[in-house]
């Protein structure tokens, strides 16, 4: 599935709860997981592939691929400062403050409720993906200087893609989701 990039209005549009848990939803889950791995990323939310519904997929490297619908964040604790990136803002990363531990409650692809508690990267993914469902991007959580730095780097990357050979693919896998 094509990944929607900053500037696409679907990234800012309100999302609807998932109410139908059918074969079509399972197909969407499979397509989104494939798209996430292909990117590669550690998470992918509905709006990033043009689906204005409250759902996302993730794999922090330990959980394996997980689909969650209608997520709700509860019991956020502590804080962490790590670099964060987004497949919809391709290239830049910026230190972003998040809860260091948080529980995410939602439904699986059959509609059954489940919850997971994440720390470190997994906690970050839960917060990043849930933000996507509220039309929010990580740059919205930065101060003005941080946001400007990300947008300037994004612009530099776009220009270098237009002008020269593509930059070496980043091998290190970070929290792009």
What residue ranges bind Zn ion (CB under 5 A)?
Answer: 86
Q: What is the DSSP letter of 16?
A: B
Q: Nearer Cβ to Zn ion, position 41 or 106?
A: 41
> How many helices (H) and strands (E) are present in the chain, helices listed first?
3, 7
Q: Tell me the CA distances in angstroms from 58 to 18, 45, 82, one per residue in order.
A: 17, 9, 18
Closest contact distance (angstroms) between CB of 110 and Zn ion is 26
| Residue 129 designated active-site | yes
Report the residue number whose CB is nearest to Zn ion. Answer: 86
Q: Nearer Cβ to Zn ion, position 113 or 170?
A: 170
Q: What is the DSSP letter of 109?
A: T
* 169: number of Cβ within 10 Å: 5
Closest contact distance (angstroms) between CB of 66 and Zn ion is 16
Closest contact distance (angstroms) between CB of 166 and Zn ion is 22
Q: For residue 166, give every residue at least 6 positions away whose Cβ sits within 8 Å of its Cβ, in sequence order, or none.
A: none
- Tell the residue number behind the tokens 């939602």, with chain if given: 106
The single residue of 84, 97, 115, 129 carrying the catalytic annotation is: 129
Q: Nearer Cβ to Zn ion, position 32 or 86?
A: 86
Q: Which residues are catalytic?
A: 129
């Amino acid at each position: 599935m094509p990944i929607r990039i900053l500037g696409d209005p679907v990234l800012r549009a309100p999302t609807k709860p998932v109410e139908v848990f059918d074969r079509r939803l399972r197909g969407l889950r499979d397509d989104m997981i494939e798209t996430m791995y292909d990117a590669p990323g550690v998470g992918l939310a509905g709006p990033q592939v043009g689906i204005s519904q409250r759902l996302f997929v993730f794999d922090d490297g330990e959980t394996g691929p997980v689909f969650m619908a209608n997520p709700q964040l509860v019991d956020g604790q502590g804080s962490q400062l790590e670099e964060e990136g987004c497949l919809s803002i391709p290239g830049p990363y910026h230190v972003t403050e998040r809860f260091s531990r948080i529980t995410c409650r939602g439904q699986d692809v059959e509609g059954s409720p489940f919850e997971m508690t994440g720390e470190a990267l997994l906690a970050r993914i839960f917060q990043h993906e849930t933000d996507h469902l509220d039309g929010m991007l990580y740059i919205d959580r930065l101060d003005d200087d941080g946001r400007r730095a990300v947008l300037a780097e994004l612009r530099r990357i776009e220009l270098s893609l237009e002008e020269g050979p593509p930059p070496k693919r980043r091998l290190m896998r970070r929290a792009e989701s």
